[in-house]
Amino acid sequence: MKPDSQLPIGVFDSGIGGLTVVRELHRVLPNEDIIYLGDTARVPYGTKSPDTVTRFACEDAQFLIQQKVKALVVACNTASAWALPALQQRFSLPIFGVILPGARVALEKTRNRRIGVIGTASTVRSKAYTNAIRTRDEGAKVFSEACPLLVPLVEEGLLDHAATRIILEEYLRPLLRKQIDTLILGCTHYPLLKKAIGKITKRNVALVDSAECCAASVAESLAQFKLLTPQNTRKGTLRPYVTDDTERFEAMAERFLGFPTEQTWKVELPALKE
């Protein structure tokens, strides 16, 4: 049965980083209602095993589907890397991840076919970006760097701090030595560091924002599926749910979104139905 175009879009992440995807979705699809789930009780996913990430992602998806959404956006690079096939097999509605859109845009932007990827240890270990890029261009060279310290720096609001610049230089130096001309920001926290990263990479390196690419891809696909909310409706709302600590989520949400959310609700996710 085809979903109703008036239903909201469901978005989930391990914590708050996926709000950068929500921000971009809100920008390109301002009439769409969005339900967001941040699994803050089990964050981060980037240090978990593939099996655990897949189970958590399926439980997140199950919760959002129970809220009656028309599509699911996996706004987490780690969950997109490990869990997307299982999600698409288990659930019948349109499901979108952040990896493939970012890989496509990187291939459009690169001139020398030398592409860098920064992300969590789990995303880098999955080789998801490498595989997505090499499947489309066997001659492309992909160089990846795990950046475990960046997420806590972003969540502490240290976006333009001297310590952040030093750590970014440490992480980016090996990639710049490889003469990359394109860099995928392979974690949904990283768009908040785009300015700081740009100061190090200069104009020689095109930055690919995985949140921006994902939102553009979702908009295009929903239009093809005829699932967009009619344009003459009111402005879309954002209803956030978290699995722990609503106060911390609300304190950081406005920094990630640039606008306030509705009241945040705390929920417990039921075990996955077999």
Query: Which of 76, 147, 213, 214 is an active site residue?
Result: 76
The number of beta carbons lying within 10 Å of the beta carbon of residue 181 is 16
Query: Which of 58, 147, 187, 214 is an active site residue?
Result: 187
Please answer whether residues 67 and 43 qualify as being in contact, where contact means their C-beta atoms are separated by less than 8 angstroms: no
Structure tokens at 29: 């699809």
* Average pLDDT of the segment spanning 142-147: 97
- What is the per-residue pLDDT for 2? 60
pLDDT in tens, 153-178: 999 999 999 999 999 999 999 999 99
For residues 264 and 49, what is the distance between their CA atoms, to the nearest angstrom?
Answer: 29
- What is the per-residue pLDDT for 267? 95
pLDDT in tens, 92-110: 999 999 999 999 999 999 9
Please answer whether residues 270 and 55 qualify as being in contact, where contact means their C-beta atoms are separated by less than 8 angstroms: no
Mean pLDDT of the chain: 94
Q: Residue 274: pLDDT band by 50, 70, 90 thresholds?
A: low
- The DSSP element (H or E) to which 114 belongs, if any, is strand 114-119
What pTM value is reported for the model?
Answer: 0.93
Q: Is the pLDDT of residue 1 over 70?
A: no
* Average pLDDT of the segment spanning 76-104: 95
Please choose, from the candidates 6, 82, 4, 67, the residue with its C-alpha nearest in 3D space to the C-alpha of residue 36: 67
Q: Is the pLDDT of residue 233 over 80?
A: no
- The DSSP element (H or E) to which 265 belongs, if any, is strand 265-266
Q: Is the pLDDT of residue 179 over 90?
A: yes
DSSP 3-state of 262: coil
For the question of residue 76 being annotated catalytic, the response is: yes
H-only helix segments in the chain? 19-28, 50-66, 77-90, 99-109, 121-126, 128-136, 150-155, 162-177, 194-201, 210-224, 246-257
- What is the per-residue pLDDT for 231? 75
Q: Is the pLDDT of residue 3 over 90?
A: no
Residue type, 183: L
- The DSSP element (H or E) to which 241 belongs, if any, is strand 238-242
